[in-house]
């Protein structure tokens, strides 16, 4: 099915989404290897469309879907993280069979907005993920101790209730925590120091009335040698987030490889750096990341 056919199907048979979700073949969150390789594609709904040198790279939905289908077809790729529009496109294209599907939950904190820290839950709810038979949810938790608008505390409260709602349905939720602050230009910056990531993990681990279904989604720190100390903060299972690779691609892979040896780290969740690699070769980038596992 091409994008034109997909658009026609959406216009004429919206019920096809629910039908495809009901038919989808499922698998356990963790397979026999105990590892997870998830492709992230939840950026557009936050208005974060740039990749590499193109500020609107992810605005081309046909191109994004083509890259996602190529990535999901590679051996060792377990699944995808996305918002409803993207996951439903992939459902209708038949690309989510036997894949782990993570729904992105809070998208209210638009990239670059003055209200970015007031990250209300405008994406998937726990009941939506249960309805569609998806496997887990993901939420972003950014905390600025100097936030004058109290957006951080509202997000903390909403995140805790979302974790409760997911746990009540037996659904895992991946919490991606950051300690943040605004720079002199008012832009939000994440603290990737060991102390900053340790503090964010401690806050995220204590959210809600139970942590039984909570996973952590954490960055590799500025000093990768600190990751053992960082991950000792919690016994919760974790995955590494990819972020931007930059010019030192091999150096980034080596950081991931080292952190993947730690006992609570079960895999990678990587998006733009694999879908929009500098050399344009999605298959090669994905296979390299899978090889790290």
* Inter-CA distances, 24 with 65, 85, 108, Å: 18, 17, 29
Per the rule left: phi > 0, alpha: psi between -120 and 50, beta: everything else, 139 is beta
- Percent of the chain residues past pLDDT 70, beyond the cut: 98
* 53 vs 164 pLDDT, higher one: 164
- Residue 62: in which H helix or E strand, if any? helix 61-72
Banded model confidence at residue 250, pLDDT cuts 50, 70, 90:
confident
Provide the residue count of the chain. Answer: 293
The pLDDT assigned to 248 comes to: 67
Q: Provide the whole-model pTM.
A: 0.95
CATH code: domain of residue 151: 3.20.20.70
User: What's the rounded Cα separation, in Å, for the pair 68 and 86?
Assistant: 10
Using the structure block, give the residue that is written with the tokens 């405008």. 122
pLDDT digits (tens, 9 = 90+) for 3-47: 899 999 999 999 999 999 999 999 999 988 899 999 999 999 999
Residues β-bridged to residue 138? 104, 174
pLDDT digits (tens, 9 = 90+) for 189-209: 999 999 999 999 999 999 999
The mean pLDDT of the chain is: 94
What's the total number of domains in the chain? 1
User: What's the rounded Cα separation, in Å, for the pair 146 and 96?
Assistant: 41
User: What's the rounded Cα separation, in Å, for the pair 119 and 158?
Assistant: 9
Banded model confidence at residue 2, pLDDT cuts 50, 70, 90:
confident
For residues 231-258, average pLDDT? 85
Residue 24: how many other CB atoms lie within 10 Å:
17
* Inter-CA distances, 26 with 12, 100, 180, Å: 27, 7, 37
Minimum mean pLDDT range among 99-103, 184-188, 205-209: 184-188
The pLDDT assigned to 245 comes to: 62
* Inter-CA distances, 118 with 99, 121, 141, Å: 32, 10, 10
Could you list the residue range(s) of the whole structural domain that residue 226 is in? 3-291
């Amino acid at each position: 099915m091409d994008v034109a056919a997909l658009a026609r199907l959406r216009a004429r048979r919206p019920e096809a989404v629910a039908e495809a979700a009901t038919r989808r073949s499922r698998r356990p969150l963790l397979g026999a290897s105990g590892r997870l390789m998830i492709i992230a594609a939840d950026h557009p709904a936050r208005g974060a469309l740039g990749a590499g040198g193109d500020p609107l790279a992810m605005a081309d939905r046909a191109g994004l879907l083509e890259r996602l289908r190529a990535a999901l077809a590679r051996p060792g790729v377990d699944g995808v993280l996305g918002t409803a529009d993207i996951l439903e496109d992939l459902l209708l294209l038949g690309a989510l069979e036997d894949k782990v599907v993570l729904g992105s939950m809070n998208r209210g904190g638009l990239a670059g907005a003055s209200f970015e820290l007031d990250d209300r839950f405008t994406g998937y709810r726990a009941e939506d993920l249960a309805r569609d038979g998806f496997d887990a949810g993901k939420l972003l938790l950014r905390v600025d101790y100097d936030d004058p608008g109290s957006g951080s505390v509202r997000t903390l409260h909403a995140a805790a209730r979302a974790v409760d709602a997911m746990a009540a349905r037996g659904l895992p939720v991946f919490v991606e925590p950051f300690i943040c602050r605004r720079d002199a230009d008012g832009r939000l910056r994440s603290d990737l120091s060991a102390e900053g990531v340790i503090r964010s993990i401690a806050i995220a681990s204590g959210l809600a009335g139970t942590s039984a279904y909570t996973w952590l989604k954490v960055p590799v720190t500025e000093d990768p040698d600190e990751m053992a100390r960082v991950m000792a903060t919690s016994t919760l299972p974790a995955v590494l987030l990819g972020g931007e690779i930059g010019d030192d691609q091999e150096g980034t892979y080596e950081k991931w490889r080292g952190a993947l040896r730690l006992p609570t780290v079960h895999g990678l969740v990587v998006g733009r750096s694999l879908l929009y690699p500098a050399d344009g070769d999605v298959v090669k980038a994905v296979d390299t990341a899978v090889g790290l596992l």
